[in-house]
Amino acid sequence: MAFKHNVRQYRGLGPFTVVFFAWLYLPIAVVIFYSFNENRLVSVWSGFSLKWYAEALSNRNLMNAVQTSLSVAAIATICATGIALMAALVLVRGRNVKYRRVSETIVNLPLLLPEIVLSVAVLILFSQVGLANGFLKLVIGHTTFCTPFAFLPIRARLQGMDSDFEDASADLYANRWTTFRRVTLPLIAPGVFAGAMLAFVISMDDFITSNMLNSGGSTTLPVYIFGLIRQGTTPELNAISTLIILVSLIVAALALFIQARGATTNTH
């Protein structure tokens, strides 16, 4: 018999929860608050203003960095999600697959290695093959470390999906492609979307690999922000950070909405 515990009976849990969430979100709240500061000095409030948002959005170098990050993240997400989907189908639904555990370890290897090691390895490889295109190097590098992040939700979704639906499709004389397109993919779509969104966010957030592979004309947003920090913190940096937080919240809310909708659809 399962007993449900009322967490309110534990003394001190309420204040601890408040302190915990304050520790997590108070710095973010400070950044958002001072992004509306009219004064150029970050910590000295002198009035409400939106001028730093205007300056951030009119900064051509910043917009170029945003465009580079979005382009790299979009292409890397598509490539990483496609690779992860194929790997998950083979490792979860494949029959008589040899060295299944070894193959899963290889797919997840970028998660096990420190990113600096992977970045140096990719940089050396590109130097050996003579690849000089900075944008292409970023796409390949981001695809490499984003693949396991996309793989994990897709694999989990496939493992939780009953194979009876695919067997029923085969009994109705549907070929493998039709079964995948009409049965498997719609059922695992929330997992695929979650993996793609996770890969996109990880790519947009990456600094180490992007800084290693950075070259003229291919500066990503995290690398550009790091350059601003080295010059000194300004309200413009707070405005940029606030915009990034807003976009992240929108993406996370969209992902949760689609996952919840997919879960509701499957229960019916």
Give the tens place of pLDDT for each residue, 58-104.
888 888 888 899 999 999 999 999 999 999 998 888 777 788 888 88
pLDDT of 6 over the 80 cut: no
Under the banding of pLDDT at 50, 70 and 90, the label for residue 1 is very low
β-partners of residue 37 are: 48
In 3-state terms, the chain is what percent helix, strand and coil (to 5)? Answer: 75, 0, 20
* Mean pLDDT of the 125-131 span: 87
Instruction: Report the SS3 class of residue 97.
Output: coil
Structure tokens that stand for 248 in this block: 């992240």
Helix (H) or strand (E) holding 243: helix 235-267
Q: What is the pLDDT of residue 173?
A: 79
pLDDT (0 to 100) of residue 88:
92
134 to each of 130, 144, 219, 223, how far by Cα in Å?
12, 15, 9, 14
CA distance 18 to 16: 5
Report pLDDT digits (tens) over 186-237. 888 888 988 998 899 899 889 998 988 887 668 888 888 888 887 776 778 8
Of 137, 145, 147, 146, the C-alpha closest to 219 is 137
Walk me through the domains of the chain, giving residue ranges and CATH numbers.
Answer: 59-267 (1.10.3720.10)
The tokens describing 112, both together, are 């096990």
Question: Structure pTM?
Answer: 0.80
The answer to whether 150 and 80 have CB atoms below 8 angstroms apart is: yes
Q: What is the pLDDT of residue 142?
A: 93
CA angle 229, 230, 236 (to 5 degrees): 30
Top pLDDT among 26 and 248 is at 26
Higher pLDDT among residues 70 and 259, named by residue: 70
